[in-house]
């Protein structure tokens, strides 16, 4: 059988397509896909009329992280495709925080956080924050990532349950983080914070992976426990 090899022009065409995909198609896919990121969590809370197991601290830290990322992109005049998901997720985080605060009867605290977050967003996006301070806050994103996920991971571990957490939300966040690692490496110049952003996304991917695994493991344990309880009830009824 005769083997067919790709010509130089064909190889070049594939390379151009891959570069174009990393530069344009994938970033916009991430941005528009981020609209769906928090929806499974919001829908699950509203459907069950419960926000049990949701860490307010994690939500506040994640919101502030989105505020910093969005304001950095606006202040540095980055293209929307390179930071837009942070802005869209931030809007969803505002809504999610208010819903959880209302259901956990902590609405006053969440409203105060909302006001502070909006003020910081406007202040930093307008360029009033000195670049070195803003960049320093961007570097702190790693700790924001830890702060937004570790309290939730600890609560899950202590309860041996993920409560009303949506595994789909964290899986989408993990997938988006992996994609953003590729696009950031390809699209963002080093002088615009590429290394900082790569480290941040790497940490976020790992922490989201941990929560996804917790959702899988604890949901399986819950199903086994329910099955055991139902079996005991049947035996008791027959006796």
Q: What is the SS3 string spanning 35-88?
A: HHCCHHHHHHHHHHCCCCCCCHHHHHHHHHHHHHHHHHHHHCCCCHHHCHHHHH
CA-only gyration radius of the chain, Å: 22
Q: Higher pLDDT residue, 29 or 76?
A: 76
Q: Higher pLDDT residue, 115 or 226?
A: 115
* CA dist list (Å): 7 to 13, 98, 189: 10, 57, 32
Q: Higher pLDDT residue, 223 or 190?
A: 190
**What's the pLDDT band for 29 if we cut at 50, 70, 90?**
confident
**What's the pLDDT band for 92 if we cut at 50, 70, 90?**
very high
Sign of the dihedral defined by the CA atoms of residues 146, 68, 183, 38, in that order: positive
The pLDDT value given to residue 14: 62
The pLDDT value given to residue 66: 92
Where does the chain have alpha helices with state H? 8-20, 26-33, 39-48, 56-75, 84-103, 107-125, 131-139, 141-159, 167-187, 194-238
Q: What is the pLDDT averaged over residues 45-68? A: 90
The pLDDT value given to residue 164: 82
Q: What is the pLDDT averaged over residues 129-150? A: 86
| Residue 11 in this model has a pLDDT that exceeds 60 | no
Q: What is the pLDDT averaged over residues 18-29? A: 67
* CA dist list (Å): 174 to 15, 109, 149: 26, 29, 12
Q: What is the pLDDT averaged over residues 94-113? A: 94
| Residue 105 in this model has a pLDDT that exceeds 80 | yes
How many Å apart are CA 156 and CA 158, to the nearest integer?
Answer: 6
The pLDDT value given to residue 90: 94
The pLDDT value given to residue 154: 93
**What's the pLDDT band for 37 if we cut at 50, 70, 90?**
confident
The pLDDT value given to residue 108: 94
| Residue 188 in this model has a pLDDT that exceeds 80 | no
Neighbours of 18 (CB within 10 A): 12
| Residue 230 in this model has a pLDDT that exceeds 60 | no
Q: Are 211 and 170 in contact (CB under 8 A)?
A: yes
Q: What is the pLDDT averaged over residues 60-65? A: 91
Q: Higher pLDDT residue, 89 or 164?
A: 89
Q: What is the pLDDT averaged over residues 35-64? A: 89
- pTM for the full model? 0.69
Q: Are 16 and 65 in contact (CB under 8 A)?
A: no
The pLDDT value given to residue 64: 93
Q: How far apart are the first and last CA of the chain?
A: 72
Q: Higher pLDDT residue, 122 or 137?
A: 122
């Amino acid at each position: 059988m005769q083997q067919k090899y790709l010509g130089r022009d064909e190889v070049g065409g594939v390379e151009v397509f891959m570069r174009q995909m990393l530069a344009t198609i994938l970033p916009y896919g991430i941005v528009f896909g981020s609209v769906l990121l928090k929806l499974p969590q919001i829908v699950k809370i509203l459907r069950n009329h419960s926000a049990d197991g949701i860490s307010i601290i994690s939500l506040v830290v994640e919101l502030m992280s989105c505020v910093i990322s969005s304001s950095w992109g606006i202040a540095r005049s980055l293209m929307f495709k390179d930071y837009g998901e942070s802005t869209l997720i931030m809007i969803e985080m505002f809504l999610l925080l208010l819903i959880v605060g209302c259901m956990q009867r902590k609405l006053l605290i969440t409203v105060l956080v909302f006001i502070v977050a909006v003020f910081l967003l406007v202040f930093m996006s307008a360029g009033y924050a000195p670049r070195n301070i803003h960049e320093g806050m961007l570097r702190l994103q790693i700790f924001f990532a830890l702060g937004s996920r570790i309290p939730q991971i600890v609560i899950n571990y202590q309860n041996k349950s993920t409560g009303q957490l949506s595994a789909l939300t964290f899986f989408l966040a993990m997938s988006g983080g992996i994609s953003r690692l590729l696009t950031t490496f390809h699209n963002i110049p080093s002088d615009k914070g590429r290394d900082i952003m790569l480290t941040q996304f790497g940490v976020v991917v790992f922490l989201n992976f941990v929560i996804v695994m917790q959702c899988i493991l604890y949901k399986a344990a819950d199903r086994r426990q329910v099955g055991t309880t139902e079996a005991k009830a049947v035996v008791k009824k027959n006796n």
